[in-house]
Amino acid sequence: DQQVKQNSPSLSVQEGRISILNCDYTNSMFDYFLWYKKYPAEGPTFLISISSIKDKNEDGRFTVFLNKSAKHLSLHIVPSQPGDSAVYFCAASIQGAQKLVFGQGTRLTINP
């Protein structure tokens, strides 16, 4: 069963606008969430994370929102830039368990 789901395989956004990537999870034991960015033929790079004791975490152009009651998190990128074009993975873990569970990824394309 897919415990972490990214239901949109792709998203296209105009440069300068807001990009919103969504992620849903089913396991209520997850208490730590991360977003990774991946370019083709490269390893993922860490973007931003959030603990379940928070509902928002911001780092520059990137903000992650967590809605525990809906088991939903989202990544907002404002403003979107061409270099943001990549595949974005959300991941979840139970702190102390070490293992990350990844979503399927969303391919973000920023159009000029």
Partner 1 sequence: DGGITQSPKYLFRKEGQNVTLSCEQNLNHDAMYWYRQDPGQGLRLIYYSQIVNDFQKGDIAEGYSVSREKKESFPLTVTSAQKNPTAFYLCASNNRGPGETQYFGPGTRLLVL
Residues in contact with partner 1 by CB under 8 A are: 4, 6, 9, 32, 34, 36, 41-46, 49, 51, 89, 91, 95-96, 98-100, 102-105
74-99: b (≥16 Cβ within 10 Å) or e? bbbbeebeeebbbbbbbbbbeeeeee
H helices within 16-56, ranges in order?
none
Nearer to partner 1, 96 or 112 (CB): 96
Supply the minimum distance, in Å, between the C-beta of residue 15 and partner 1.
Answer: 26
Supply the minimum distance, in Å, between the C-beta of residue 17 and partner 1.
Answer: 26
Supply the minimum distance, in Å, between the C-beta of residue 74 and partner 1.
Answer: 17
DSSP 58: E
Nearer to partner 1, 13 or 23 (CB): 23
Bridge pairing between strands 10-14 and 106-111: parallel
Q: Which phi-psi region, left, alpha or beta, contains residue 3 (left: φ > 0; alpha: ψ -120 to 50)?
A: alpha
Nearer to partner 1, 74 or 79 (CB): 74
Nearer to partner 1, 17 or 72 (CB): 72
